[in-house]
Amino acid sequence: MEFSELNLNGDLARGIADAGYLTCMPVQEQVLGRAFGGQDLYVQSQTGTGKTAAFLIVIFERLLTEPNLAGKKALIIAPTRELAVQIEEEARMLAKHLPFKIGSFYGGVGYADQQRLLRENVQILVGTPGRVLDLNSSGRMNLMDIAFLVLDEADRMFDMGFYPDLRKLIRVVPPADRRQTMLFSATLNAWVKNLAWEYTKSPYEIEIEPETVTVEEIDQCLYHVTSENKMKLLLGILRREQPESAIIFCNTKRYTEIVAKRLRVNGFECEYIMGDLPQTRRLRIIEDLKAGRNRFLVATDVAARGLDIEGLAMVVNYDLPVESENYVHRIGRTARAGKTGKAVTLASEQDVYELPAIERFIGKKIPSQIADEGLYAEDKSAGMRIRSEFAPSRDAGGRRDTRGGSRPGRADGRAEGRADSRPGRSRAGGAAEGGGRRHGPDQGRKRDERRAAGPPDGSRKNGEDLSRLPFDERMARYRQKYSGPGPRGTPAEAGAAPPGAASGGGGRRRKHGGERPAAPAPAGNGRRKDGQQGRRRHGRPEHGATRQNAPQPKDGGQKAAAPKKGVLARIMGLFRKKPGQE
């Protein structure tokens, strides 16, 4: 189907023609055929198929032709700053002859320009979840006049931990029956489908079969190579193929920088991009690559999704990606919009174990080739120590964090921190920013207040704070508190002298720091009713019990019957000093 057959607004049709769009691609044809009537959509489509133009054309046409939508706005959410900027650029291109004001809102840059756009009543808002929520919570961005909500690369947003943010965002826009919702995803995902059915109104599903997820026009090849020879093989491939442009993907931020600098040493001018780079520098690097001022880019997976670099000739997987889906997203940077491209993968002994899962995901074996000796080139950087400009950060456990791209929930550059990588769980506020701090900022103050207030009620008796007393005095208070009366009014054994001393007037409890009267040994042979001499039933010596060779009392009398000890009395008895230990 041709765009000219859609009977679009004249100014919009002029912008489409100026952009060079003539024939609708399959996804565009299905989206445009359903969405003009206000139908909600859930679209599963691979990158590079023209879906951005599809939802933009729907938004522009409805805003121009439906009087009840006059003054309404559209909100387009993307997972990364680069994708947000790219959508903004395409929107400006298609709206070249239209009266709409378009702006993008993402982290990593100041608020001034974005707040100015909001004051000027921008109508097409493109942004990342974190910054949009920030502006809304501060009262700068009013989302209640949104008539269109588009979630682009939804599966990527879930991978990056934006699921809680998306749920919050959807709650601050008009309900589903007062907006049109279009959700786009490159791969099927249970979280995406749950969000689609929970927050849309009878969505129409446009789905691409999983076996077509890999672009057939890409010439894929795989080389098995040892880790120490990877750079030599990469140099040989680049010199033999002489690609007009190429992106080399690495798994970690550290190796992204090292590979780029080693390529420079060997005469290949290139840049590198990762999540730690300032936003302005990242945008400049991407613009240079698009404009042809730079031929080679080394990147982490932060650049694997959403970047539309026209005519990209080659993609090189210097490392095999850990997640199978990322292989598809990486090689999808080339052969876009029906063009051809080449994807080269270097599998070493360190990452070859990821290969079976990738081949299962794409549904076929990656053609393997043998690199002959002539393909290996001299590496002038061999043996050189490459210094890293960006030292790896450390995670909450103090481990070095060299993961590729931004941390989950930080892709839009929010300083406050957002969600972790698991959908449904968030890591908000200072906990995400504070380098692994496990408590909120006021937890230390609350802890100090609790300490000043003293122990809980279990150790606060009769208004006294026993925890502040010296150890000996506190034990004496415990004995006084928990010792029960013995026979004939004498104290129990837990806090008083043995029964034999009570009849001699020695049963008075000594005061703290005073003299303890000598306690006579028990009368008789010290046998208990259970027949064990001076021992408990558990076999341990009874506190204060006599042994067979201990001196016996002069009168040879029998030991007075002692009251049965309670549990607390036995515990307190452990703290009583034995005779002769003063």
Question: Closest Cα to residue 166, out of 75, 69, 85?
Answer: 75
Phi, psi of 132 (to 5 degrees): -60, -45
Report whether 171 contacts 141 (CB < 8 A).
no
Question: Closest Cα to residue 343, out of 366, 311, 314?
Answer: 314
Spatial separation of the C-alpha atoms in residues 429 and 210, rounded to whole Å = 38
* Amino acid 481: pLDDT: 62
* Amino acid 218: pLDDT: 84
Spatial separation of the C-alpha atoms in residues 33 and 231, rounded to whole Å = 49
Q: Which architecture does CATH list for 3-211?
A: 3-Layer(aba) Sandwich (3.40)
Phi, psi of 455 (to 5 degrees): -70, 170
Same fold for the pair 3-211 and 218-391: yes
* Amino acid 460: pLDDT: 44
Parallel/antiparallel/unpaired status of strands 73-77 and 314-317: unpaired
Q: What is the pTM of this model?
A: 0.52
Q: Please provide the size of the chain in residues.
A: 582
**Sequence ranges of the domains in the chain:** 3-211, 218-391, 456-503+564-577
Spatial separation of the C-alpha atoms in residues 106 and 78, rounded to whole Å = 9
For 488, the token pair is 């004939």
Task: Write b or e for each residue in 436-449: b if 16 or more Cβ atoms lie within 10 A of its Cβ, otherwise e.
Answer: eeeeeeeeeeeeee
How would you write the pLDDT of the chain (582 residues) with one tens digit per residue? 888 888 899 999 999 999 888 888 888 889 998 899 999 998 887 766 788 999 999 999 999 999 999 889 999 999 888 889 989 999 999 999 999 999 999 988 889 999 999 999 999 999 999 999 999 999 999 999 999 999 998 888 887 788 889 889 999 999 999 999 999 987 766 777 777 778 888 888 887 654 444 556 788 999 999 999 999 999 999 999 999 889 999 998 888 999 999 999 999 989 998 877 777 788 788 888 888 888 999 998 876 565 667 778 899 999 999 888 788 888 877 866 556 789 999 999 988 899 999 988 888 899 999 888 889 999 999 888 887 776 554 433 444 444 433 333 333 333 333 333 333 433 333 333 333 333 443 444 444 444 444 444 444 444 455 556 676 776 777 666 655 544 444 444 434 444 444 444 444 444 444 444 444 444 444 444 444 444 444 444 444 444 444 444 444 444 445 555 666 777 777 766 555 554
- Determine the topology of domain 218-391 in CATH: Rossmann fold (3.40.50)
Alpha helix ranges (H) inside 395-464? 430-433, 443-453
Report whether 404 contacts 274 (CB < 8 A).
yes
